[in-house]
Amino acid sequence: MMTSAEKRAAVGGFLWIVATVQYTVAQFVVAAHWRTPFSWRDNYVGDLGNTDCGDFMATYVCSPKAGLMNASFIIAGLLIVAGAGLLRSRWPDTGPATVGVLLWILVGAGKLLLGVAPENEDLSLHMIGGFGLPVASVAILVLSLTIRDTRLGMFGIVVAVFGLLGTAMSIFAPELLGVGGAERLAGYPGDIWLFVVGGAALLPGRRSAQVLAEVA
């Protein structure tokens, strides 16, 4: 029988899975409705939530389903924050683990901000929300180091390295993958990590304890 902590973690894991799945699906659906081809290499994810049609940062943007994308940002943000709190018991009771969880709460808040402040309506706030990408990689690294002797810990370290590499490319060499490609390299590893950790939290108690740190 599941303990109350295991039940909370399972709910948190489910919320993280829903957050990543709906966010991923929304991107494909919204991109498919563009009147001009959406470029996964040259368009930012935020372009999908742009509520106007016209040139934006040297690129033509027109996203008929912008409202759907912005709603997806907001939903993902809320679910990430809630999931982070519910999954706290599945990490070691240490300072670094607490910092990692708090960083994920900041990431969720940033994702929410992306939807509340589309890039064409308030670029400054939108960019603040965008800082969630490198913060997510740091959060993954911090949490993964607390369970570095597990497979999930090693997986998280690798994921964090890819995310930080994408962030570095976005800043110093965006032309290599395009601004959109570099942004996705920075952000998608975090989405994959959320999905994997969420799935691990849904496993039965003993099995879950093998892949997630368990508080005695």
Q: Note the pLDDT tens digit of each residue in 184-216.
A: 999 999 999 999 999 999 986 555 545 554 433
Give 97-132 as a DSSP string: HHHHHHHHHHHHHHHHHHHHS-TTT-HHHHHHHHTH
pLDDT tens digits along 123-176: 999 999 999 999 999 999 999 999 999 999 999 999 999 999 999 999 999 999
C-alpha span between 205 and 49 (Å, rounded): 39
Average pLDDT over residues 30-46: 94
- Kindly report the backbone phi and psi dihedral angles of residue 56, in degrees, each rounded to the nearest multiple of 5, phi listed first: -140, 115
Give residue 182's identity as a one-letter amino acid code.
A
What does the pLDDT look like over 78-100, one tens digit per residue? 999 999 999 999 999 999 999 99
Strand positions, DSSP E, the chain: 53-56, 59-62
The greatest distance separating any two alpha carbons of the chain, rounded to the nearest whole angstrom, comes to 57
Q: What is the pTM of this model?
A: 0.92
CA 188/CA 173 separation, integer angstroms: 18
